[in-house]
Amino acid sequence: MATGADQAVGMGLVGFSLLLFTYYTVWVIILPFVDSDHAIHKYFLPREYSVILPGVAALILILCVGTFIGVVTWKNRKPRRPIRVQRPCPEEAGLWGVGRGWSRGGGVLGIWTCED
C-alpha cells in the first residue's frame, strides 16, 4: 500500500500534468482564435514553440529511455566464456586456423587443444 508521502507525490504529479495539459491546450487550440492584440497573448510563448518544445521533449525522452535500456542491458550481460572443444590438432583434423576460432563442422566457437 502506498504511504502518505507517495500519495502526495502522485497527486502533485497529476496536478502538474493537468496544469501543463490545460496550458498547452489553451496555447495551441484556443489562442489562435483570440485577437493578437489581446492581453492573454503575453502569458504564452510564440506559436512556433508549440511544435518545437514537444519535439525536443520527445527527443530527450527517447534518449533517456534508450540510455536506460542500454545501461540495464550492459549491466545484465553475462561474460562469454569459450567452450573447450576436445579435438585433435587443427592441422590433422583439417580445421581452419590455429588456436581460437570456428570449427569446420559444428560451428562452435571454442579453443582447440593439441594433445601430443
Same domain? 69 vs 13: yes
Same domain? 42 vs 90: no
What's the pLDDT tens digit per position in 35-93? 989 999 999 999 899 999 999 999 999 999 999 999 999 999 887 777 666 555 555 55
Q: Is the pLDDT of residue 115 over 90?
A: no
Q: If pLDDT is split at 50, 70 and 90, which confidence band does 26 have?
A: very high
Same domain? 13 vs 67: yes
pLDDT value for 20:
93
Same domain? 51 vs 90: no
Copy the grid coordinates of residue 67: 540510455
Same domain? 87 vs 71: no
Same domain? 51 vs 29: yes
Query: By C-alpha distance, which of 94, 113, 112 is closest to 104?
Result: 94
Domain extent at residue 54: 4-76
Q: Is the pLDDT of residue 97 over 80?
A: no
Same domain? 11 vs 57: yes
- The C-alpha R_g of the chain, in whole angstroms, comes to 31
Contacts of 82 (CB under 8 A, 6+ apart): 100, 109, 110, 111
pLDDT value for 90:
54
User: pTM here?
Assistant: 0.54
Please tell me the distance from the alpha carbon of residue 36 to that of residue 52, in angstroms, as a whole number: 21
Same domain? 43 vs 98: no
Same domain? 70 vs 108: no
Same domain? 52 vs 92: no
Q: If pLDDT is split at 50, 70 and 90, which confidence band does 94 have?
A: low
Q: If pLDDT is split at 50, 70 and 90, which confidence band does 102 have?
A: very low
Domain count, the chain: 2
Same domain? 66 vs 89: no
**Residue 84, Cα to own-chain centre: how many angstroms?**
36
Same domain? 101 vs 54: no
